[in-house]
Amino acid sequence: MKLKIVQAGDPVLREQSRPLTRKEISSPSTQLLIEMMRTTMREAPGVGLAAPQIGKSIQLAVIEDRAEYLNRLSADALAEYQRAAIPFHVIINPKLTILDKSPATFFEGCLSVEGYQAIVDRALKVRVECLNERCEEVTINAHGWHARILQHEIDHLNGKLYIDRMKTRTLTTTENMLRFWNRQTIQEVLAELGCDQKS
């Protein structure tokens, strides 16, 4: 069953989500919710989906970057993004630690800001300590695109959207990003739009 993805402006996207207890995680209702979130993320399609995006203010997100999503990218682009296939996994009650503050600067979109993208700085390397869907303690050390996805989804759990972090002059429809900016480097886009490090 596919769930409805709420869009920017819905108050649930601005709430601080509450942690889940181990009893709640193990419950049939949460296990079913995880499966429905996986289906919804894949059908969107997306690489991550946080519970607030389907109207639930709880600290739960699902992540997966499928190999088929990478087929349309060149080897050079995959290397630049530091992007590789990521198996499906669940993060619950995550604690994020930045391991490398070096900025990775790329266009980013969101299923809850449908039809738009903007350039966002994210940390290059992170560690996430969390529980998985089996209530097991997990530590995820991630870099590149995986680190970006984790930061994006954990932002959702803290009531933030990528538009809070974006370089505002780069906000574009996805259609126009593909039309005007897709063949340029990020530095070329920033220079053409007259962006400095804070805009």
Q: How many CA atoms lie within 13 A of 94 on its CB side?
A: 31
Three-state DSSP class for 164? helix
Question: Which run of H or of E encompasses 128?
Answer: strand 116-131
Q: Which of 64, 108, 133, 153 is catalytic?
A: 153
> Ramachandran region of residue 117, left (φ > 0), alpha (ψ -120 to 50) or beta?
beta
Residue 68 is among the residues annotated as catalytic for this protein: no
Rounded Cα–Cα distance for residues 182 and 189 (Å): 9
Cα torsion at 163, 157, 35, 108 (round to 10°)? Answer: 20
The residues pairing with 122 across neighbouring beta strands, listed in sequence order, are 104
Instruction: Mention every residue, 6+ apart, whose C-beta is less than 8 A from residue 194.
Output: 169
Active site residues: 153
